[in-house]
Amino acid sequence: MKQLFFFVCLSALCIFSACEEEPNTPDCLTFEQNPAWAAGELFKSNRTIQFPANYTGDGFTNNGDFFFHKYRTDNAITFYWSLCGFAWCEEYGFLLDTPLPDNITVDDPVLINNTNSGLGWYIQNDLTAYIEFCENDIPIAVFYYNTNSTADGALFLKLDDDQLHTALMVKYDSTQQQEVESILQTVL
């Protein structure tokens, strides 16, 4: 009888402790400037980002087009943004559903010679993993990416409407995942 009582208590303890487990969520990286890199530069009208010295490109051009383009000199990583139609351009893109989906599909402009072709050609990319970025332990951004050998990613930022909007696209050699995350951590 004591063994049965002990077994029931142990089983109840296991069941209750399993019920209290927190869901498995990805780590949340903190936004912070990197003192070893040059000062942050605009990538949106009110946001900055830092890059190591081996990056080049036009950066942010706000001629009404909100264009952004930076790439590593060996072409292993490209950061870019341009969302324009025939007579309009947008600084931010579509809204991300909440709660965060496990994966998303984004329309990605075709890059030719490391820049937007401008031809209106898009391909659909399935982004199957993500990592969150925080300020004061509050998630304010999420980076979705895939694990293809040439990986694609999309950064979503929380705006004043408290929703996540597409803000930046990244195409990179998947072996450079850590560098991409380190650069994205510098967004302020």
Question: With bands split at pLDDT 50, 70 and 90, how would you rate the model's confidence at 141?
Answer: very high
Q: What is the pLDDT of residue 120?
A: 47
Q: What is the pLDDT of residues 72-102, one digit of tens each?
A: 999 999 998 877 777 778 888 888 887 888 9
Domain ranges of the chain: 27-184
Cα separation, 5 vs 24, in Å, equals 33
H/E element, 158 = strand 150-158
Task: Report strand pairing: 28-30 vs 129-135.
Answer: parallel
Contact 101, 188 (CB under 8 A): no
Contact 107, 116 (CB under 8 A): no
Q: What is the pLDDT of residue 11?
A: 45
Q: Which residues contact 38 (CB under 8 A, 6 or more apart)?
A: 50, 51, 53
163's tokens: 């929703």
Give the global pTM: 0.78
Q: What is the pLDDT of residue 8?
A: 40
Q: What is the pLDDT of residues 30-66, one digit of tens each?
A: 999 999 999 889 888 889 999 999 999 988 887 777 8
